[in-house]
Amino acid sequence: MHYASSFCFKNSLYSLSYGSNLFIMFYILDNNGSNMIFYGVSYSKGKPYSYHFFNQYIYSFHLTSIIKYHLYFYFRFPTERSRLHHLKRKFYEKCRIPNVIGAVDGTLIPIQGPSQDEAAYVCRKGFHALYVQAVVDAEMRFTDVVSRWPGSQHDAAIFNACGLKTHLEQSNNGLLLGDSGYPLRRYLLTPKVNPTTPQEEAFNKHHSRGRMVVEKAFGILKSRFRCLHKSGGVLPFSPKKSSQVVVACMRLHNFCKTRGVQEPVEIITQDDDDDDNNLPNGDDRSNNNLRQELVNLF
């Protein structure tokens, strides 16, 4: 791959078909991260054309016509009555908990150490990372994503600052399932800590079954796009650019789910969530009573 000028290079990007753009995007992000940088190409202003190529692809895929081509690239949190009814039925089939419309969790994405606020990006595992929060539906499609926080942040802090929390407080559409790193709310259902009765143990078991969809979605995402997993190294970009890479990969994940693309043979196990390590305080009596009503179903 050789181009006489960056002008020619950029024009070549937009001359490709939609299918070719998707193929190259997968090629860049897939294959254990080894294709994040192409070798054997000419240089422009001291950087290989692969650098400009990747930057231009992330920009175009994240912000312009490729995303707009199909609606299923968007993250669409359910609001329509028919969609909400469908999700509640699907989640009930998984976990026997009524009124569930999604599962929320966070994951760490390794990045290179940034030049500013470097310490804030060091996660509890000891490496530089973004902490990405996501909600998935019963089919493991991402419906809401927050990808801008440093790796030192935790589930509860990110959730309390996100726009989805405000939406859930103002609506009464259903429940999210979250692990015990999240606060118990009327719209956010967490497991019982230290269950003491058979009903509480059964409730936790079924809660875990429902929440498993988000953990598996992260595993599939990182297995398909190894640039997001430590086995593929780190994203060699600024936090802002790395966030764009994450969002592009998650949108491609939704594309794969909608098109029925086969999942990777080996799925990475999600092992970087907070779970019980940082239990939030402030669960009031009314929220505990609502959860107890669900526990009593078991």
- What pTM value is reported for the model? 0.79
- Tens digit of each residue's pLDDT, the chain (298 residues): 333 333 333 444 444 454 555 555 555 555 444 444 433 333 334 444 444 555 555 554 544 444 445 444 567 888 889 999 999 999 999 999 999 999 999 999 999 998 899 999 999 999 999 999 999 999 999 999 999 899 999 889 999 998 899 999 998 899 999 999 999 999 999 999 999 999 999 999 999 999 999 999 999 999 888 888 888 788 888 899 888 888 888 988 898 888 888 888 788 776 655 454 455 555 678 899 999 999 999 9
- Helix%, strand%, coil% for the chain, nearest 5: 50, 15, 35
Joined tokens for residue 124: 């509890």
What is the reported pLDDT for 79?
Answer: 86
Domain count, the chain: 2
Q: Is 106 helix (H, G, I), strand (E, B) or coil?
A: strand
Query: 143: closest CA among 204, 62, 84, 95?
Result: 84
Q: Is 188 helix (H, G, I), strand (E, B) or coil?
A: strand
Size (the chain), residues: 298
Boundaries of domain holding 189 = 80-295
For residue 183, the Cα-to-chain-centroid distance in whole angstroms is 20
User: Which of 69, 93, 112 is where one domain is finished?
Assistant: 69
What is the reported pLDDT for 282?
Answer: 55
CA separation, residue 237 to residues 132, 221, 244 (Å): 16, 19, 10
What is the reported pLDDT for 224?
Answer: 87
Same domain, 139 and 22: no
What is the reported pLDDT for 142?
Answer: 95
Please check whether residue 29 lies inside any domain of the structure: yes
φ, ψ for residue 141 (rounded to 5)?
A: -95, 140
Cα–Cα distance, 134 to 185 (Å, whole number): 18
What is the reported pLDDT for 230?
Answer: 86
Cα–Cα distance, 218 to 114 (Å, whole number): 24
Same domain, 232 and 86: yes
The DSSP bridge partners found for residue 136 are: 103, 142
The DSSP bridge partners found for residue 130 are: 109, 150
Same domain, 221 and 114: yes
CA separation, residue 262 to residues 214, 220, 253, 255 (Å): 18, 10, 11, 12
Outline where DSSP puts E strands in the chain.
Answer: 43-44, 47-48, 100-110, 129-136, 142-150, 175-177, 188-189
What is the reported pLDDT for 236?
Answer: 85
Please check whether residue 74 lies inside any domain of the structure: no
Same domain, 136 and 210: yes
Same domain, 28 and 99: no
> Which helix (DSSP H) or strand (DSSP E) does residue 49 occupy?
helix 49-63
What is the reported pLDDT for 294?
Answer: 95
Same domain, 56 and 86: no
The DSSP bridge partners found for residue 129 are: 110
Q: Is 145 helix (H, G, I), strand (E, B) or coil?
A: strand
Cα–Cα distance, 277 to 221 (Å, whole number): 24
What is the reported pLDDT for 27?
Answer: 53
Please check whether residue 1 lies inside any domain of the structure: no
What is the reported pLDDT for 260?
Answer: 87
Same domain, 102 and 54: no
Greatest Cα pair distance, the chain, in angstroms, is 71
